[in-house]
Chain A
């Protein structure tokens, strides 16, 4: 029986391999996910599917701390004292150069420059500037690599977020996490390879949408699975009232018997696959709550992330959960934290947002480092675009707002394969244009995939007549941020 079953599993894998579109590498990845123990040794888990060149990966896993709504680079990491000097003066046309405006400021007759209300200081060996909002992040700047020359094509939230996550502003394309899952498969047979964590701060929020973590045209096994700490960590995971593990086991055994009998008469290998899926769901039922239970974390850990990390659904709790998921072999952990859309009341909102994320973001880096995981885990912190150097709405002594700005913004990356203590790229004194080493979203994606050991031009999937890839038809690796 066992031998027979194994054979059929191989059949399933082979069949999927053959019927998958194009190179069939996604199907191979699926095989990896489902049958890794049968088919390959543990050492080979990181090997890419057939058809994609592999080079030694520098990172095995990604944690993406998405700051949804777009935090201002000018109040955080891109210090522009000139703006304080020219506070209230008009943005010179020679700097703006006809840049497109959003519908929210297009009708403004004035574009007064505005300097940061928060003070800046240099930190660490690298001398990176960090504002007073982020004391904890400031303490670890030598672990981080700041890219000050990020730029994007989109100027509004929905298209910009979609672009960052899927490589295209429109369309139902697979998310980065889905691509990575497709390319590399899973390291843990009890957990999905792409998970999503959601939180909302107290600032002006912009929603998120499930298309950000969609599998698009890839097999839905690559779809992001939303996790949370608390009682119901994954949709439909919990046994309903009156059920316990024993009764579930009994049911699964019954199902397996019936299904095996169907297989005997019908011969459809998909039936065996289904038996396996039920078994995996059963394993998930015990593996996931164990993982999402944060109550057993040590005091030292809690201190790192801050006390909020014990409150389910907070950014801090999600950072801690991200570490645990990643540590357990989840390839791609995608966080979204809403609340950075500071069109007005920037001074107040930024402070609240920073309070929620600073400690836990830094804590995550420290925690990974102390566990020896930072070298193989790539952490990303940043939003979907930047914010304007001029004021949106009324500029008064206490407060101001900033509109969307796609031409430059800062994000930081750390860990696996990243050159620590780096400041990459440069913007002009006005913080409006990039003057050195621009990094596009496609470049950024190409570099991330490279660090994961994947050639971004080869990780393709043929769908409706063309080969799609995360980087569309662009993307150049940025060697300057690679260790």
Chain B
């Protein structure tokens, strides 16, 4: 601003321009300050500028595209992603250096980013990237302080940090709290008081099993005053067979699980036994190292079994085409690409896919290294196209038959009722099937140099691993020197519970990803997890028994201001239940949930025409044939996923379309979500059945309302709420009284067995009340 004021001799026109630009500048600065607050939690330039936290994010985002790891696109031979590059002499002017430690004004980097000459200034205007004044100031200060480079944080293997001490009065329950509370103290926040018992119970139930606590459980917990009452509940939940189902949901997103092949006519596939295995593996608490090793390389173990081979279905869950005219090799390459990219995202949280067509622009992964990773997944004796939709099979080779005898013996966790075999796709390597080559620009018919099978050196070399195949790759992942595997997994689990990762970009731990908000906590959790033998249930228990997790969700105005995103966890975040769990909650509250585990996916209610309006008419999935009976009441994770027309009730609630590996879901708030909760027969039916069950009990309407409320919201209503609900009930009752036809119409919802009640108007009014409760914001929040 002062710059503008000091220049006083301008024409009116120019002044106007200045007023406008000052306004713009003010606005932009305002914007930046918000952003700044958002990303590093400080309004001004930090006292000590840290390369990893303050500088690299700027360089990576604005400079690496042309001055980064991609050798082919590097301009002027200058690279800023390495220390050597940053302190080197300029190629075209050897007297000048990019950076001179301590002297920004003499550093070419600083001269260029502050140049007023549009031909000189960096980034060039044509890039449509620019640096803010604040960012320039950070770079200046960093150079003044010596311009120290550091390795990217996520590539340095984690070591167990010292647990910080915190004030006793904060009542830390385990080391998670020490880290979180210490950070809060730094920014002037204190934790919330513990949540009330009912809220906590619902939260932990929805988080561990995905099913709400029954009234019996609510009572038991409320009346248990022992010091380990909560821990008993946690143990009970972790031992429930529904724990595996809850955990499987997000893994199915990661593994892009679906019940159809995914392209064009979109034929049927039978990968559900693989999904049954995932549930089983979580329930048996397989260590994460075993869990990933079997999925990556169960076929390559010294003594593979049917179970370990079934687990490898993970790498066959990708889409497969049945479009008649395609070229076999083009799609085979697609599948290998999908596996490689999924590996990068699921286990490394590195965007490997960026290096398929050229060297990675931001992360140290060359194109050659991409194809070296690709080589692990390139040995499958598979075809790009097996046949057109008429010839489509539910499981293309390599595959494995699962017989009834298997299910009675070695694969007892598979819920197969039908006679006859089920075919699942699995992984297999053929010896010397092909040499993997770099594909020019990633195009299938432009192979160039042959590559060795290996891993990106910047993450961790591969030389010390004997098996040069997927088994070696799995061992590489779980080796103690690996910087990413444990961090990535604990971060994703954390994200499940807190709705936000310690690294917010759950799928990107690279240069362009966000930095961890609590780096020491992340490392502590990662090392602890690895050293515990990759014990997943132990990790979950650690999280849910922390005081951080047990806080109340109330946010004061101060917290709303200081911590609007809840990145300091100064209150428990209110997180909407995901698509599947919303359904599970309501069906369970109404007592109509079918708790069967596993088996072929089911086709519950769905609006007419969703499949029919998109299909060409070919293939066995052209028409949606809804299931009946028990199958209508299965948990949401068993909903049949036809990839080209996924279930709208789930998709509208932000479920994945299972097109490719997803490690987190969006959480949106849209009018279509309101329409689903108001009009989907599944929810109306739940409201109806619960109403009928209430209607045949004895008691006053007020007592019945109270029970409904406890079942749906998992807490007791207060008097005010009861009064309001009773008034609503009464109002609805008056609308239905003496109008049996209207009551009957309302009560016709769903196929679940009708229960005859004495006064249909009472039942209808109770149903309206239940339905209103189902639609409450609180109901859909965990």
Contacts and interface: CB of A to CB of B under 8 A. Distances in A.
Contacts of B276: none
B510 to A, nearest CB: 6
A267 B264 contact: no
A15 B385 contact: no
A238 B680 CA distance: 10
Majority-rule SS of B interface residues: loop
Given A235-B607, A465-B512, A268 B615 contact: no
A399 interface: no
Contact of A156 (B323, B513, B564, B671): B323
A234 B732 CA distance: 27
B672 A219 contact: no
Given A156-B326, A266-B553, A281-B671, A254 B659 contact: no
A240 B668 contact: no
Contacts of B743: 242
Interface in A39-56: 50
B674 A214 contact: no
Interface residues of A, number: 83
A303 interface: no
A198 B680 CA distance: 22
B743 to A, nearest CB: 7
Nearest to A284: B671
Given A198-B614, A258-B776, A157 B264 contact: yes
Interface in B364-386: 385
A458 interface: yes
Nearest to B619: A207
B724 A259 contact: no
B684 A211 contact: no
A241 B263 contact: no
A234 to B, nearest CB: 8
B644 interface: yes
Contacts of B618: 207
A323 interface: no
A404 B565 CA distance: 51
A190 to B, nearest CB: 9
Interface stretch (B211-219, B245-253, B745-753): B745-753
B666 interface: yes
B675 interface: yes
A258 B717 CA distance: 11
A200 to B, nearest CB: 8
B301 interface: no
A221 B668 contact: yes
Contacts of A360: none
Nearest to B725: A254
Interface string B755-782: 0000000001000100110011110000
Nearest to A226: B613
> Chain B: interface residue count, which band?
35 or more
A216 to B, nearest CB: 9
Interface stretch (A88-96, A114-122, A272-280): A272-280
A235 B614 contact: no
A209 B644 contact: yes
B146 interface: no
A240 B748 CA distance: 10
B50 interface: no
Interface in B124-139: 128
Nearest to A30: B668
Given A250-B731, A464-B351, A209 B266 contact: yes
A403 B326 CA distance: 12
Contact of A211 (B554, B657, B672, B721): B657
B14 interface: no
Interface stretch (B31-39, B173-181, B580-588, B692-700): B31-39
B38 A225 contact: no
Interface in B254-276: 263-266
B669 A270 contact: yes
A267 to B, nearest CB: 4
A235 B265 CA distance: 23
B264 A210 contact: no
A284 B670 CA distance: 12
A98 to B, nearest CB: 11
Contacts of B654: 220
* A-B interface, 10 closest residue pairs, ranked by CB to CB distance from nearest: A242-B746, A465-B512, A102-B325, A209-B644, A242-B745, A281-B674, A281-B671, A205-B616, A236-B675, A280-B671
Given A158-B263, A158-B321, 7 more contacts: A209-B614, A239-B679, A242-B742, A255-B772, A267-B555, A271-B777, A465-B512
10 contacts: A102-B325, A171-B660, A209-B264, A236-B678, A242-B742, A242-B746, A251-B768, A258-B777, A258-B778, A267-B556
